[in-house]
Amino acid sequence: MAAIPESSSTSGPPAGDAVDWSAYLPLVLLVGGWLAMFGSSYYRLSTTIWATDAQGHGPIILAVGAWLLYRKREALSALARRPQTLLGAGFLLLGLAAYAIGRSQSVWTLEIGAQILVLVALLLCFYGGAALRLAWFPLFFLAFMIPWPPELVDAATHPLKAAVSVVAASLLYDAGYPVGRSGVILMVGPYQLLVADACAGLNSLFTLEALGLLYMNLMNYQSIRRNVLLALLILPISFCANVVRVIVLVLVTYYFGDEAGQGFVHGFAGMVLFLVALMLILSTDRVIGLVLKAR
């Protein structure tokens, strides 16, 4: 019988396979601190303005922004660490001050906008300016979830609502429907419909602009001309999609009554808005690509 070597009699995984959980401690502390600071803000948002049509895109923007940052994890880890602690501390103090003022005075713009300043501070303190250049788009994308002051939204929304109302009423009237308009109120048959902010306002414009910018980021176009042109064309695309949404709601109300127009179909019209916008963005991008290639 051959002797069994002593080394083969040992059991258990090699020492190299042991997981060093201490390496995850900084990440756990950062996530815990982030949730301790902004967790209650997210909860309050979910029970207030995120539950409305006008700001319903907030949690989606937050989730996509977190995913975009997660996609950068390997590139960030590969960076040579050159921390800019002093500059990072300045951004951190600015973010904490914005959060404290916003939370105490119920100013959502400052309270939620503070998270971008805190993220900038963390990147500067851990990696330096190179990390900001690498993660600029996720940080910029998170700005679309910031609730802006109602006075600013109202001032910018009214011209958009008026323009959408005029175009929608004109198209329906030319198509032979008994449609009248008084400001942003559309009359069709015995019904009156108010074109609300969620149907043709600044918030839907922000959402569709964010959708277009996300599309360009995922496509990773290197042509600055193509990116700028598509970003500018998203504005009229958003306007056209809002017109389609209002027309759908008017037609549903005209044929099926006010309850149908304000029920499930009203929410479904929001899906139609994004589907139309997405198709227009894809088509416009295709045309821009063909034109630039031809030139």
Q: Both tokens of residue 241?
A: 């999609």
Enzyme catalytic residues: 199, 245
Helix (H) or strand (E) holding 234: helix 224-256
Long-range contacts of 134-140 (CB under 8 A, 24+ apart): 134/72, 134/75, 134/76, 134/79, 135/69, 135/72, 135/76, 137/68, 137/213, 137/217, 138/65, 138/68, 138/69, 138/72, 140/213
Burial label for 294, CB within 10 Å (0-12, 13-18, 19+), is exposed
Q: Both tokens of residue 19?
A: 């997981």
**169-194 burial string, b = 16+ CB within 10 Å, else e?**
bebbeeeeeebebeebebebeeeebe
- Spatial CA neighbour of 120 closest among 107, 106, 100, 135: 135
